[in-house]
Structure formats: C-alpha cells, structure tokens
Structure 1
Amino acid sequence: MNTRATGAGLLVTTALVLLGALPAAAEELPSAPTPEQAASAPRTLDTLSRFFARDGASARTAAAPRVEGASVPVRFLSPDFVAGKPGAPVARVEFRASRAVSPDGRKASLWTVRQPGGGWQVVNIATGDDEIRYAELGHGFVFREPQIDAWYVLKGAKVLPLDEDAVRAVGRNGTSLAGYRERVVRAYGDKLPGSSYARKGAAGGYDAPAPASHERPAVAAVGVGAGLVLALTAWATVRGRRAGRRA
C-alpha cells in the first residue's frame, strides 16, 4: 500500500493515512523502564531482524541488528503554538526515537512512547534515522514541521533550518520565532483541530507540492500501542513515508 500526502498543509489527516493501515495482527512489543531498554529488548531486536530482512533484502540470519546510543525526544510543531495559546512552546515531544543499525549499515528509527501504566514501549519502526540524525545535528531544541518534512532548531528566539525543506520555508539564515509563527499561522491556522476544514474531513487543500527528496520507504506499526502514536500526531501528516507490511 502506498500512502502519500497530496498537499503540504494536511493537519487533519486521519490516523490510517498518517502511517498507513495497521497490520491486521500487529505484534505487541514489551514495555520496559526506559526507552533504551524497550528498544534493545530481545523481542524488539527479533522484530527488527524481520524488518531489515523484508522483501528479501537480506537473510534474517544475517540481519541481526544493534541499537546505538541513547534515545532522543522527537518534537513536532505544536497546534497550540499555531493557535496562539499563551505560553505554548513551538513544538511538543511526541515520542522518543532510537537508532537501529543492520550489519550492512542500513538504519531504522524505533519510535517509543510512555505507557499509561508506566514504562516505555516501541510502537513504530521507520526506515532511516532522520529523527536521531537531526537531533545530533541541531544540538538543542530540534523540531519537525511534518506538513512539509522540514527540520529546525530553536536557538534563543530564532528558528534555524536544518534541511533544505526548512531552508525553503525560512531561508538559510532562519527567522525569528515571531516570524515563524506568522508563517505557520498563514499556512495552517484555518486547518487546526475543530476548524471547519477539520469538520469537513478534508484530506487536502494546500497547493504547495510536496518535495520528493526525503522519502522514507517503509514504516511498520507494531503493537496495540501504535494507536497512541497515531493519536498524538493525528493533526499532522507524515509526508513521504509508505505504509509498511508487518515486520
């Protein structure tokens, strides 16, 4: 199944479009006291082996992966910031991500969320390591504007670009936080949850074409906890990711 955003401002895309339909019998991965322990649990590594071995890319026996380093917080542009709620930060943490590496060097990102009863659980595996790579590059308050797949770092009261999509949005020298808010209000202010756009169930409506330079070709939602990630990010589409089959 191929799922692609048709516009750059899809704030109310449904959860199924966001990450693709969940597998009918998704595997639930174990909870652990920390994101790192959840990411490196034996069952998680076994699921990763199957993820890397999908489509015959490599034999499962040769795809024993490893998890590298600490997890990082992944922040998305906050609808409260767009709506102008007093004190709202520009972005909020949606999940934590850990980098997984296969023996042949391919990378994946493990998305981990805190469970209501305590502990952390891996709920998604995405091809590539954008989440960790941009966190390392930015060295600070890094966040993503998922509608255009742009990554930024907040330095004081200035929003600086970390990739070409962000450069196209705010210029190579960035913009002030106030200037950035003006831009996202123009782009998304009428598409927030509760808007007439949302009530219509619109799945498009923004004319800017989605650039094709940062596609991530596979996502596998795992576990019943995947619904939590979908709910957390249901206001914003994840561009350029294809729905993945069960890992």
Structure 2
Amino acid sequence: TGAALFTAAAPALADDGRAAPPKLTATTLEAAHEAATEPATLTTLSRFFAREGAVSAKASAPRIEGKAVPVRTLSAAFVAGKPGAAPSTLDYLASTAVSSDGQKASLWTVPGAGGSDAWQVVNIATGDDEARYAAQGARALPGGTVFREPQIDAWYVHDASRVLPLDEDARTAVGAKGATLDAYRARVRQAYGDKLPGSGYARSGKAGGYGPEAATGPAPAPAPGPARGAALAGSPAPAGTA
C-alpha cells in the first residue's frame, strides 16, 4: 500500500527519456538515510501510521531503523536479451520506519533535482519487504544481488551463475533450489519478451505501464517494473517506471 504524502522534483532522465537509475554509493546511501530522518518526513510518517486509527499521530513516535537498502527490479534489457545486461536495475533506496505500536513501513527515496546529495522521499509503502528480503538474500547467497520480479511479486537473489528464490512466489517460478541464470533469462524472456516498452502489447495499453497494476488481476503480465506501492502524486516514479 502506498501513500501520496510527498511531492518531489523531476529526476534526471536517461537518453531514452526515462528516469535514469540512481547511483549506489556510500554518499547516496547516507543521503537517502538523511532524507528519511528529516523532521518533516517523520511528521508525515506519524500521519501514515495513524491513518487507520490504531495509534494517534502524536503517539506513533516513528523512528528509522537500520540503513537504507537498494531496491532492484527485473531489467527490461535482461528480458530483451541484450548482451551484458544485468538481471536487475536499481530503482530506489528504501529505509524502514517503525511506529511505537510496531507497525512498519518502507520509505522510498530517489535523487532529487540536486543529484546524489539531494535525495528525497517519494513514497511510503506498508511493511518492510525491502529490508527483510535484502537481509534474507545476504544470508542465502553472500555477495549476491537481491531483486524483485514485480509481475508475480517474487523476490530473488542472484550471482553470476544462479538465481535463488526468497519467497513462495519465487519458489513457484524457479523451484525451491532455484535456477541457473541462463534458465531464468529464458523464462522471463518467454513470459515478457513480447511485452517490453515499444512493443505492440505496450502500445495497446494492455501492459498498464509499469505501475501497481502489474501484480494485480488476471491480465497477462506487463513488462518489468516495480509493482508494490505507488509513486506519489507529483513525484518521480522510480527508475524503470513509466
């Protein structure tokens, strides 16, 4: 569940006109954390945690727990079979917020108009999937890269040769023991290869863009992009969204 509680400046664009992926450095991780801990952000979090009346905004006393983690999603270039394409692309950084009554939420942060030193929060999503799967992936495959296939809401971790599942949806897709990277590429290319940006499927509107609709309903799975939560009104969508 996302909450339209922030506004933000437009991000830098890549050559194809889509939002350029953020750069992952120690500086950007710290900038994302600072954005999440700003007083204005904590005030908004108080309202978010109080939205269903479980706790009052004043009593929610939100805090940011741990460090920001990178959130990656299945890469369209990988699905298309482009030589050297990484399986996933970095979309945003997520910080975990915790309320006094134990509620958790993820703050999505992206670069602002000022670049790597001006990161800003653009969305709040309930739960702590991002941090939880990042930690789980580090245990399952040390040094691996955690990413999400949003069309089926599946989380994985991969290295240079294999892909391992981190949740039930991923286990259904690749089996409990995972798959080789080549086998996974073949699977996603078959599933989404004709639904990429610029395809007739996408132009017809059936793909629904790269938004939250990607993981809902019986319609054919759209092209890669984040599905959990919603980019906020007036704010930039994470890289890889349209």
TM class, shorter-length: 0.7 to 0.9
Q: 1:206 aligns with which of 190, 201, 220?
A: 220
Which runs of structure 1 show a deviation greater than 6 angstroms over 4 or more consecutive aligned residues?
none
User: For residues 212-231 of structure 1, what are the structure 2 equivalents within 5 Å?
Assistant: 219=229, 221-222=231-232, 224=234, 226-229=235-238
Question: In the alignment, what sits opposite 2:64?
Answer: 67
- In structure 1, C-alpha distance between the alignment counterparts of 2:8 and 2:53, rounded to whole Å: 23
Overall identity of the aligned pairs, in %: 58
Q: CA deviation at 1:100?
A: 0.3
1:89 aligns with 2:62: no
Q: CA deviation at 1:206?
A: 1.8
> Is there any run of 5+ residues in structure 2 with no aligned partner, and where?
10-27, 139-143, 209-217, 222-226
Q: Secondary structure at the match of 2:92?
A: strand
Q: 1:44 to 1:95 in 2, by over 3 A?
A: same
Compare relative contact order (CA 8 Å, sep 6+) and give the higher one, 1 or 2: 1
- In structure 2, C-alpha distance between the alignment counterparts of 1:45 and 1:205, rounded to whole Å: 38
User: For residues 36-75 of structure 1, what are the structure 2 equivalents within 5 Å?
Assistant: 36-75=33-72
Show CA shifts across 1:117-143 (max 9, x none): 221000000000001100011013000
Q: Secondary structure at the match of 2:152?
A: coil
Question: In the alignment, what sits opposite 1:152?
Answer: 156
1:175 aligns with 2:214: no
Q: CA deviation at 1:222?
A: 4.5
Give the letter aligned to residue 233 of structure 1.
Answer: T
Conserved 8 A contact 1:122-1:222:
no
Q: Secondary structure at the match of 2:237?
A: helix
Name the TM-score, length of structure 1 as normaliser.
0.75
Q: 2:74 aligns with which of 66, 73, 77?
A: 77
Q: CA deviation at 1:57?
A: 1.9
- In structure 2, C-alpha distance between the alignment counterparts of 1:150 and 1:206, rounded to whole Å: 16
Aligned residues: 201
Q: CA deviation at 1:221?
A: 4.9
Q: 1:81 to 1:221 in 2, by over 3 A?
A: closer
Q: CA deviation at 1:29?
A: 6.8
Question: In the alignment, what sits opposite 1:35?
Answer: 32
- In structure 2, C-alpha distance between the alignment counterparts of 1:220 and 1:58, rounded to whole Å: 23
Q: CA deviation at 1:171?
A: 0.1
Name the TM-score, length of structure 2 as normaliser.
0.76
